[in-house]
Amino acid sequence: MVTIGDVARVAGVSRSTASYALSGKRSISAEVRQKVEQAVQNLGYTPNAGAKALATSQTKVLGLLARFLEDEFAPAMLQYILGVTNRAREAGYDTLLLTEEDGASALKRISDSRMVDGFILLNVAENDDRLGILRDAAQPGSLVGLPGDPTGIDVFDLDFVTAGRLMVETLHALGHRELILVSQPEHVLERGGAYVWRLANAAQERAAELGVELHHHFGSSSQPEIGGELVGLLDAHPSATGLLLNNEAAAAALPNVLQSRGLSAPADISVIGRYSDDFARTFSLPYSAIDSAADELGRLAVEHLISRIEGTADAESTVVDLVAPRIDDRGSTAVPPTRH
Amino acid sequence: MVTIGDVARVAGVSRSTASYALSGKRSISAEVRQKVEQAVQNLGYTPNAGAKALATSQTKVLGLLARFLEDEFAPAMLQYILGVTNRAREAGYDTLLLTEEDGASALKRISDSRMVDGFILLNVAENDDRLGILRDAAQPGSLVGLPGDPTGIDVFDLDFVTAGRLMVETLHALGHRELILVSQPEHVLERGGAYVWRLANAAQERAAELGVELHHHFGSSSQPEIGGELVGLLDAHPSATGLLLNNEAAAAALPNVLQSRGLSAPADISVIGRYSDDFARTFSLPYSAIDSAADELGRLAVEHLISRIEGTADAESTVVDLVAPRIDDRGSTAVPPTRH
DNA sequence: CTGAAAGCGCTTACAG
DNA sequence: CTGAAAGCGCTTACAG
């Protein structure tokens, strides 16, 4: 293994000079810097990460706590993971991926052993057992997902309240007066998936304000159950003209359901979903949808975390950044059909 | 930060004794061990990972090199990632996830800086530019995916040759004599996705041996293109009675295509796919399929890597372990329909 | 069975 | 502008 001692010897300088020449933390004569850089090149020197971490108390690694739950759409998680790792690398950080069931103990273990400089928590629940540990940890953290009590922690999430309102408002403006909202399964909510009711409640409220009738249903998370439920809902509410889907499985099942009933969107029914563009492309889902903004949330969370680590963030106050929802228009909304 | 020095002081012993009491690397009187363990408890001591790595040259971290490519089904990658991280954790290792485009340089960077004890490479190409670096690296590696030249590296993959033969044999045994095989896009192959042709060639060969006519097509990787292609294939080969799908997007599109033609499997046509059970469940794909064995491959790769790291693997020879394909029977194969 | 000391490969005050 | 030395928190021969 080639060390900075080898570099120093070959360059004919001391180890401290070699170190300073590489870090640029004090001025070095051009000549010496040349020699050091040359030696680094020739020897193929790369600093030992463990030694550096020990000396500086900085690992240049972020801990990424994923949380995979039944009844949630796992591939969506991949978008967040990639958003985080890619942005982190751009900023000079690598990512330790933690996927074990018990996220709280993983967080404690990694924090105590000083393996990372900070944490990103994905899929944060309303009352997340990882938050207590994070607040006591020596390293800062950013959440992707808004918990019930975000005190003292930086949070990034889609603005699900505005998303719920936006869905209703968009169809109301087109003239719709009776809508169906299909959420994710109630299990998700019970487990702390607060975004489900945040969107649903906001939609309900906004519908009430606008005089729109809204039928809310917690759907299943997989086929073929959700297909059957969609059929049931359309049967139960034959005069509904719009369908709001906060449930990936429902979106994937809908094309079949509509086709089998001889319906098409938006001629017969308007549809707005809530899923990633990537999901839409893979399955060519033809419905306008509020994007999950996974990539953007990952980037924001990483950028803010790094500013905390490096001390450039305001130490006095934390941030709750709710990203404004944006509808990817795929042409599945229109004025409601006129009844005869 | 609490160090082993604190533990030693509180326990009233030397640092070396405290260290040995914790590692168990030499015999310690029961009394002293008690005191040390008590001190660890009281102080909440966890060893500093960087310091430990520096002293032992072991990081207890594995590097996981993912490789995301256009035209391949990204969610499948998540299965491998989870298989690896979960098994690694069980064995006492954490996982550094590397997702950057340039896998070769990532591998070199992480290897040179001694951040990990070994590497897992996912989605290995026929002629993978990461392999040269891996062979020169100080750390061992396991591949998931068989390259053209696996010399000197441990490899784990699904046995795609047997998979191709198995698909053909299964339908031949039922009486089918004309089949269609839809592979992943040709781009995948050009990029080094050798598994695509390995399966296709084996299927072709076996079909020839058995006197089965096999029409091979490189399909698109997303909707709606692949749907149109399936329609075209069924039109072009009206007497084909079996469909083999080595293409996730084709499997996802098929239910619609069959329904719109008034066909059902296996009454009108037999179908065998090649995708994960998880994918099948999420989209309720009703087709029998050869499982990707992502979980098993991840586990095997990790277990073997760790045995190399810890020196228990045979240092003289490397392993190429091709996992036997297994068909998850979902009832989509039967004797071909009798023509009138 | 236990302790004092050296060493892993870095960085960074301290001196000049 | 440069060097000798201490220190980060561990482990592990070396001595007793």
Contact B49 A114 (CB under 8 A): yes
In the block, which residue shows the tokens 């810097």? A33
Residues of B in contact with A101 (CB under 8 A): none
Contact B51 A46 (CB under 8 A): no
Q: What's the rounded Cα separation, in Å, for the pair A144 and A164?
A: 19
Q: Are residues A168 and A284 in the same domain?
A: yes
Contact B99 A82 (CB under 8 A): yes
Confidence of residue B339 (pLDDT cuts 50, 70, 90): low
- One-letter amino acid identity for A304? H
Quick one: DSSP state of residue B117? S
Q: Are residues B259 and B284 in the same domain?
A: yes
Q: Which two tokens stand for residue A300?
A: 């924001």
Q: Is A327 helix (H, G, I), strand (E, B) or coil?
A: strand
Confidence of residue B59 (pLDDT cuts 50, 70, 90): very high
* Domain that includes residue B33, residue range: 4-47
Indicate the number of domains in chain A: 3
B292-299 average pLDDT score: 93
Percent composition of chain B: helix, strand, coil (DSSP 3-state, to 5)? 45, 15, 40
Closest-CA distance of chain B to residue A134, Å: 16
Closest-CA distance of chain A to residue B62, Å: 10
Residues 292-321 of A with CB under 8 A from B: none
Q: Is the CB of A51 under 7 A from strand C?
A: yes
With distances taken from each CA to the C1' atom of nucleotide D9, the closest residue turns out to be B51
Q: Is B66 helix (H, G, I), strand (E, B) or coil?
A: coil
Q: What CATH number corresponds to the domain at position A227?
A: 3.40.50.2300
Confidence of residue B340 (pLDDT cuts 50, 70, 90): low
- One-letter amino acid identity for A282? T
User: Is residue B148 within 8 angstroms of chain A, CB to CB?
Assistant: no
Q: Are residues B180 and B116 in the same domain?
A: no
Q: Are residues A282 and A182 in the same domain?
A: yes
Closest residue by Cα to residue B78 from A193, A66, A141, A229 = A66
Q: Are residues A164 and A281 in the same domain?
A: yes
Q: Are residues A107 and A24 in the same domain?
A: no
Closest-CA distance of chain A to residue B44, Å: 9
User: Given a cut of 90, is residue A84 above it in pLDDT?
Assistant: yes
Q: What's the rounded Cα separation, in Å, for the pair B47 and A334?
A: 62
Confidence of residue A114 (pLDDT cuts 50, 70, 90): very high
CB atoms within 10 A of CB A203: 27
Q: In this structure, are residues B281 and A221 in contact, taking their beta carbons and an 8 Å threshold? A: no
Q: In this structure, are residues B245 and B274 in contact, taking their beta carbons and an 8 Å threshold? A: yes
Strand C bases within 7 angstroms of protein beta carbons: 1-5, 7-13
Q: Are residues A279 and A298 in the same domain?
A: no
The residue ranges of DSSP E strands in A202-283, in sequence order, are 213-218, 242-245, 270-274
Tell me the per-residue pLDDT of A282-308, one tens digit each, with 9 for 90 and over.
777 889 999 999 999 999 999 999 999
User: Given a cut of 80, is residue A155 above it in pLDDT?
Assistant: yes
Q: What's the rounded Cα separation, in Å, for the pair B306 and B81?
A: 16
Q: Is the CB of A267 under 7 A from strand C?
A: no
Q: What's the rounded Cα separation, in Å, for the pair B281 and B268?
A: 23
**pLDDT: which is higher, B64 or A255:** B64
Closest residue by Cα to residue A295 from A134, A156, A140 = A156
Question: Minimal Cα distance from B83: which residue of A?
Answer: A99
Q: Are residues A205 and A247 in the same domain?
A: yes
Residues of B in contact with A87 (CB under 8 A): none
Q: Is the CB of B14 under 7 A from strand C?
A: yes
Q: What CATH number corresponds to the domain at position B36?
A: 1.10.260.40
With distances taken from each CA to the C1' atom of nucleotide D6, the closest residue turns out to be A55
Q: What's the rounded Cα separation, in Å, for the pair A127 and A100?
A: 19
Q: Which two tokens stand for residue B195?
A: 């598994």
Q: What's the rounded Cα separation, in Å, for the pair B326 and B209?
A: 22
Does A84 map to a domain?
yes
Quick one: DSSP state of residue A91? T
User: Given a cut of 60, is residue A340 above it in pLDDT?
Assistant: no
Residues 110-129 of B with CB under 8 A from A: 110, 112-115
